[in-house]
Structure 1
Amino acid sequence: MTFDRRSFMAASLVSGLLAGEAAAQTAPPVATGKPRAPGLPQPTETIDLWPTDAPGMPVKPPVETVDERSADELVTDRAVYGITRPRMAVFRPDRPNGAAVLLTPGGGYKWVVVDKEGYEMARWLTARGFTAFVLFYRLPGEGWASGPDTPLIDAQRAMRLIRHRARDFAVDPERVAAMGFSAGGHVCASLSTRFAAAVYAPVDPADRLSARPFCAAPIYPVISMDPAIAHAGSRSLLLGASPTPALEAAYSPERTVPADAPPHWLLHAEDDDAVPVENTVRLRAALKARGIPVEAHFFEHGGHGFGLRKAIGKPVEAWPDLWRAWARTKGLG
């Protein structure tokens, strides 16, 4: 990939300062009134994306709220919305393999899920040597001045901050992948196709670095804003009730693939009743048309939002190992 090493070296001069401020970072989202599930590693480290307020703060900022949707005392299923302090929860492996993955969980742009597509995947990755960063991005329907660019702004900034602080995490700044689920898959695909878009004003040396992922894995992703196949809820919250055809095209990653997009790994279940499999089919075709390396897996059964926990006992359960085998062939880890 194209990477400005001179910029990285310059930016890393102040990374120690950022590391020293870790104690002042915003805590991970926590649901009040319910204890954490026993025995599961929880993040103890976060990275705020912005040194001050996030850009384009609404006149009446939303209030961060965490809902616990699980009635099982041993299983958590949290969702957070009203995010005004976008941040990454960091999961460090015992033996880093030098690669990192930026995770963007789903939630239909209504909220960001914490556990199912965030912490659970992060634990799987760290058990295999990857450093994982779970991104709690701002939601586009909550009044931010940047509108539909809001999640992409946070994803670009997150990728640059990981590279900026790569030495702190024993990570190779070039080997930072992206993986996203459902609407978070749209965030991932937007990042992998619009990484060079100037969607925010630089705020510090980290913003001199590339936001291009080393490789990308949109999982059962929301992709197209074409109403024929779009996830209606995500489309409405991202673009509003009556977007123009030009707006639909601008925010459909299958229509914005650049010639230098990173390699992609795609996954979808044919029986997905929330986000039609055609979303992934179209993205694969667009990548192939551009000559971008892509591997796609389509499973007969799996539904939507299976992550890790809902894939157990089905053929689709194999997907994380399939991704890891592919990632090795690309040099990720």
Structure 2
Amino acid sequence: MNFKKIAIVFAGIILMVSSALSQTQMIDIWNGKVPGSIPNPKYKQIVDSAYYIKLRFISNPTLEVYPAPATKNTGAAMVICPGGGYYGISFINEGIDIARWLNGLGISAFILNYRLPDDAIMKDKSIAPLQDGQEAIRIVRRNATKWGIDPHKIGIIGFSAGGHLAATVSTHFAEKVYSPIDSTSARPDFSVLIYPVISMDSTITHWGSRENLLGKSPSDEQVKRFSNELQVNSNTPPAFLGHSMDDGTVPVENSIKYALAMKENKITCELHIYEHGGHGYGLGRSTDTESTWSVACEKWLKANGFLPKK
């Protein structure tokens, strides 16, 4: 089987799917000056179709811009962090499909193709995704006027390991992990976390995500730093969480612990736990109840003023 040809075919499919949306540009997040990078000319981004379609070997992170249609634009925006275990980026069902859904709600969408932790091209692989996530929020906020966005309605949404990144940006937005060009805030105004990896705690973590981000033998300090349920404080943005009870990849305790930390800090939070669904379902499968999370999320966004209630 010629996997190179398969990858080319799938890349063509992605182009056709994304062209149905109003993508206007692909932004190079760092303009060629990636913080903490190690030059490696052999490191090339690919589309990998094994098991599921994903991007791999990302050394130059980008933001794909999908502005809300002018007739629907609410002024809200969201940065999308697809999952993939910090090994790949599942950019169809947790990227393009999500951008389409958000555009339908009048929300401008920005798919973040973040760097995947790798010692081959990074001085400190544990902070590379966080650097990209912080800068993505800053880019959207800096350009809010140009894109017709309310700078106080910029959220972040993440799935699985992308949910860990979204939660990390939500709890570490003030941590200086690079030198930004200005004082623009990296704080999301709200977060949506769907079957997220929240914790690096060995009893509930997703081991693939933990090892890819922190290595096989992280220190206790590293484990605590990237266990986001331990990093919630009074400045953490409001959150909506969705998870399935039968998730065999990322235990539902991840979402439960984050929600409890939000409750302890008196921060607005809503958690939906579904009986079935498993993991990696994006907007959901029509045969199970987890497919309703997007409807519940829309109601939550309206109830909390991030979308108009009409």
Q: What TM-score do the two structures reach when normalised by structure 2?
A: 0.90
Identify the match of residue 122 of structure 1 among 96, 99, 107.
99
Give the deviation of 1:226 after TM superposition. Answer: 0.8
Q: Aligned letter for 2:235? A: D
- Cross-structure match for 2:161: 183
* 1:152 and 2:130 correspond: yes
- Tell me, in whole angstroms, the C-alpha distance in 2 between the residues paired with 1:39 and 1:177: 24
Given candidates 182, 194, 197, the residue that maps to 1:219 is: 194
Check whether the contact 1:53–1:85 (CA below 8 A) recurs between aligned residues: no
Distance 1:276 1:49 in 2: 32
- Residue equivalent to 1:279: 254
Aligned: 1:66 with 2:66? no
Residue aligned with 1:324, SS: helix
Gap change, CA 1:155 and 1:87, over 3 Å in 2? same
Please state if 1:249 is matched with 2:224.
Answer: yes
- Cα contact 1:49–1:88 (8 A) shared by 2: yes
- Structure 1 distance, partners of 2:186, 2:215, is 27
CA distance in 1 between counterparts of 2:106 and 2:50 reads 30
Aligned to 2:66: 91
Deviation at 1:311, TM superposition (A): 2.1
Q: Provide, for residues 135-155 of structure 1, a one-character-per-residue CA deviation record: whole Å limited to 9, x for no partner.
A: 000011343113211111100
Counterpart residue identity of residue 197, structure 2: V
Specify the alignment match of 1:316 in structure 2.
290
Unaligned runs of 5+ in 1: 1-29, 71-76
Q: Match for residue 236 of structure 2? A: 261
SS of residue matched to 1:47: strand
The SS at the match of 1:123 is helix
Deviation readout 1:204-236 (Å, 9 max, x if unpaired): 23xx11111111111100011111111010000
Aligned-pair Cα RMSD in Å: 1.7
Q: Deviations over 1:165-184 (max 9, x none)?
A: 11121001111011100000
1:39, CA displacement in angstroms? Answer: 6.2
Give the TM-score normalised by structure 1: 0.84
Q: Where does residue 298 of structure 1 map in the other structure?
A: 273
Q: Distance in 2 between matches of 1:142 and 1:105?
A: 21
Percentage identity across paired residues of the two chains: 38
2:24–2:67 Cα contact (<8 Å) kept: no
**Cα deviation, residue 44, structure 1:** 4.4
Asked whether the 8 Å contact 2:190–2:237 carries over to 1, the reply is yes
User: What CA distance in whole angstroms lies between the structure 1 residues aligned with 2:187 and 2:142?
Assistant: 13
Change (3 A) 1:104 1:178: same
Report if the CA contact (8 A) 2:32-2:60 is conserved. Answer: no
- The number of residue pairs the alignment matches comes to 294
Q: Which amino acid in structure 2 is aligned with residue 99 of structure 1?
A: A
Which secondary structure state, in structure 1, belongs to the residue aligned with residue 13 of structure 2?
coil
